């Protein structure tokens, strides 16, 4: 029986740049318990038993044309308590985002490697 989503994994072509986004803009903190692997990476605790994993590995889809609106692409949706505060942080960092086309209180942006993220008020 499925109990929930344990983690979502994204590829990173530049781990330092990705960390600036996930830590500096989104405010996530690295999980110090990530084991040593055959590649660099970082894990972030998002909520109880939920994580985002970044893997510094080559992107097998490099050059693939992604939809301009992240809601029409593969994405992970993250719950937030204050969409206005997130918009302010994204604006300050110069990160482009689009509002949900369904009218929900949600926005979509992409991380530095083009991975689509949805943020929805929960």
Residue 74: CATH number of its domain: 3.10.180.10
In angstroms, the CA 57 to CA 13 distance is 7
Residue 19 lies in a domain: yes
Residue 2 lies in a domain: no
Average pLDDT, the chain: 92
In angstroms, the CA 94 to CA 74 distance is 22
* pLDDT reported for residue 68: 87
pLDDT tier, 112 (very low <50, low <70, confident <90, very high otherwise): very high
* pLDDT reported for residue 35: 93
Q: Residue 17 pLDDT more than 90?
A: yes
In angstroms, the CA 43 to CA 7 distance is 9
Greater pLDDT, 42 or 66: 42
Q: How far is CA 14 from the centre of its chain?
A: 14
Residue 92 lies in a domain: yes
Its domain, for residue 84, covers 7-59+67-121
Residue 1 lies in a domain: no
- Structural domains of the chain, count: 1
Residue 115 lies in a domain: yes
Single pTM value for the model: 0.90
């Amino acid at each position: 029986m499925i109990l929930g989503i344990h983690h979502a994994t994204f590829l990173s072509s530049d781990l330092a740049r990705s960390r600036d986004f996930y830590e500096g803009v989104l405010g996530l903190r690295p999980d110090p318990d990530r084991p040593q692997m055959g590649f660099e990476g970082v894990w972030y605790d998002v909520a109880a038993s939920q994580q985002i994993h970044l893997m510094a590995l080559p992107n097998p889809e490099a050059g693939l044309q992604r939809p301009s609106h992240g809601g029409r692409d593969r994405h992970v949706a993250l719950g937030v308590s204050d969409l206005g505060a997130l918009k302010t942080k994204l604006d300050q960092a110069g990160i482009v985002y689009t509002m949900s086309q369904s009218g929900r209180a949600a926005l979509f942006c992409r991380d530095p490697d083009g991975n689509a993220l949805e943020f929805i008020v929960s």
